[in-house]
Amino acid sequence: DHSEYGGELVVSVCDRLGLSEEDTDLCRFLVEKHTMMSELSSKRDIGDPKLIFDFARIVGSRERLRKLYILTVIDTKSVGTGVLTHWKSSILNTLYQNTIPYLVSDSKDNFGETGPSRDIQLDDLKSYLITKEGLEEGIVKSVVTFANEVTPSSYLNAVSNRKILRNFKAIGTLAQNSSLGMIFETEQDPAFVTIDVITANQPEILLDLSCAVSSEGLSLLGMKSYTLGEFWITTVQLTDSTGGGNLSQEKLDRIEVKLKSISSGNLKRESIAFQRTDWNPRKPTPESIVNRSVMFYNSDLPDMTIMEVRMPDVVGLVYRILQIILHLDLKVRYLRVSTSADYAYDSFYIQTSDGAKLEDSNLLFKLREKILTIQFGEQILEEVSF
């Protein structure tokens, strides 16, 4: 590992420069961990309190966090022009900001608590609904109950109070008028665009979204899935080809039309999943030079398995993997997509149908083999064979 080798080398350099033990320790830390913020922000759920707390324990102090953040930005930018996109800048900053509250001061190993308790978060939501939205007590109680019952429970940590209220209203609208089929909402940011889709009894909305987004030549960066009874709240984050949030309303409208057409049966996913509406001048990577891998991590979270997939970066890859996961009757709660050179690194947070992590070795083996043997090229237009 080049980080570990660099950490050993920097000790010798610091010794020759006559640096103090404290400064040498800092330099070694920065070199050894110089890819950590980039890896976490691009491959993990940086809204997860446990992940943030574990990261804060490794960093140790606010001063170290600041230095590591600056080094990460410089290191990423030095790779090449355009590598530090608006999106990458945004998620690095989010990780930095989310970690600060866990580090009480600049003193090393001075930790705070593991974040606000659930009761405090619910009280904060209640206060927001009363003071900022001016809602009546009965409605406030309903919204708070809604937020507390959505699964997984990370919903309360990951979603803003404003969006919780918006999701509550959307589900209410859909419950009163099921003929709508879905509620489609967008929110634009300089770094990315967020799409929220509210549906009822449509677990395959993940497939619909992935192929609709891919067909528009947009980059799917992340996806989160929450449920309340038969209702699904699915959130995706997208960027344009330059890694920013400058998406035309026309493209977003087309995504909505495609989703509704798929839902109604008027459009087949496979007809758009592996095609793009814009021209992509980049040639595909030769399959022979890409080392595929599927790794499972079962110790990070109590109720989810993290699956990391490395594959050739091709159109429709996420769609193909989601097909396999859903066919095995598994749930996808979170997805993070990143690319490096010609590789795609996709992280899936998955559960069994009853909300547990995957511990059946036969199931894990089957899932890995199905993904590793995905065929690209002309065969990609065929259904996955089970």
* Concatenated DSSP letters of 129-187: HHHTS---HHHHHHHHHHHHHSBSTTHHHHS-HHHHHHHHHHHHHHHH-GGG-EEEEEE
User: Is residue 225's pLDDT more than 50?
Assistant: yes
**Residue 176 domain-assigned?**
no
d(CA 48, CA 306): 13
In the predicted structure, residue 289 carries a pLDDT above the cut 90: no
Q: Are strands 231-239 and 193-200 parallel, antiparallel or unpaired?
A: antiparallel
On whether residue 275 sits in a domain, the answer given is yes
Could you list the residue range(s) of the whole structural domain that residue 243 is in? 181-281
Name the residue type at position 163: K
Model confidence pLDDT, tens digit, residues 32-84: 999 999 999 999 999 888 899 999 999 999 999 999 999 999 999 998 877 88
User: Is 186 inside a domain boundary?
Assistant: yes
Which CATH number is 230's domain given? 3.30.70.260
Domain-embedded: residue 142? yes
Judge whether 24 lies within some domain: no
Q: For 134-160, write each residue's pLDDT tens digit.
A: 999 999 999 999 999 999 888 998 899
pLDDT category of residue 382 using cuts at 50, 70 and 90: very low
Q: Examine residue 58 and state whether it is found in any structural domain, yes or no.
A: yes
Which tens digit of pLDDT belongs to each residue from 173-189? 999 999 999 999 999 98
Name the average pLDDT for the chain: 88
Answer whether residue 384 shows pLDDT above 60. no
* Best CA proximity match to 262, nearest among 215, 321, 302: 215
Is-contact 182 197, C-beta < 8 A?
yes
Residue 111 lies in a domain: no
Are both 185 and 275 inside the same structural domain? yes
Residue 105 has pLDDT above 70, yes or no: no
Does the pLDDT of residue 318 top 80, yes or no?
yes
Number of domains in the chain: 4
pTM of the model: 0.86
DSSP state of 288: G
291 and 253 belong to one structural domain: no
Same domain, 188 and 236: yes
Q: What is the per-residue pLDDT for 165?
A: 98
Helix axes 21-32, 62-78, angle to 10 degrees: 50
What is the DSSP secondary structure assignment for residue 223, as one 8-state letter?
E
- Asked if pLDDT for residue 378 goes beyond 60, the answer is no
pLDDT of 66 reads 97
In a domain, 41, yes or no: yes
- Of 235, 264, 281, the residue at which a domain comes to its end is 281
